[in-house]
Amino acid sequence: MTQELERKDKQEVEGQEQISPGRYFVPAVDIWEDEDGLLLRLDMPGVDPEHVAVELNDDALSLEGQVTLADYEGLSPAYTEYNVGHFQRRFTVPNSGRFDRDQVHARLTNGVLEVTLPRSEAAKPRRIAVASA
C-alpha cells in the first residue's frame, strides 16, 4: 500500500500571551500508553536540550521548547515551508498520581523530544495467584 506524503501546515498557538519574543507553534505529537507507562514523542526541530521545559503539575503536563532566534537573524531565505518559532504543548493527564513523578524523564534527540512517564509500581497491573481450597 503506497501512501502519498502531504504537506501539513504548522499550527500556531493561540490565545495566550507570551513573555519571550517570537512565534509559538503546536508541535506534532505521538502518544503511546502501555502497562509500563506513557510515552510522548514531539517534533521540536531547532531546539537545544537546554531550552526545553517539561513540567508535570497536578494533572497538567506542559512541554515547551525555545529556539534561539538569533541564529536566524539576517538570513534571507529564497523559499521556506518551515516557519521558525518556539514550541508549546499542554496535555491533561487524568489520574496523574498513577505515574511515578520521580522517574519522569525527557530526552531531545535530533529535534524529537521523548518524554516518558513510568507507571508507579502500585498502579501497574499485577497477576493475582489463586490458591486451591
Per domain, the residue ranges of the chain are: 20-69+82-123
Residues written for the chain: 133
For domain 20-69+82-123, give the CATH number: 2.60.40.790
Q: What is the mean pLDDT of residues 119-129?
A: 79
Q: What is the pLDDT of residue 10?
A: 67
List 116's β-bridge partners, or say none: 39, 105
Q: What is the pLDDT of residue 21?
A: 62
Per-position DSSP letters for 41-80, written without gaps between them: EEE-TTEEEEEEEEEEETTEEEEEEEE-GGGGTT---S--
Give 4's pLDDT tier (boundaries 50, 70, 90): low
Query: Residue 120 has what DSSP assignment?
Result: P
pTM: 0.75
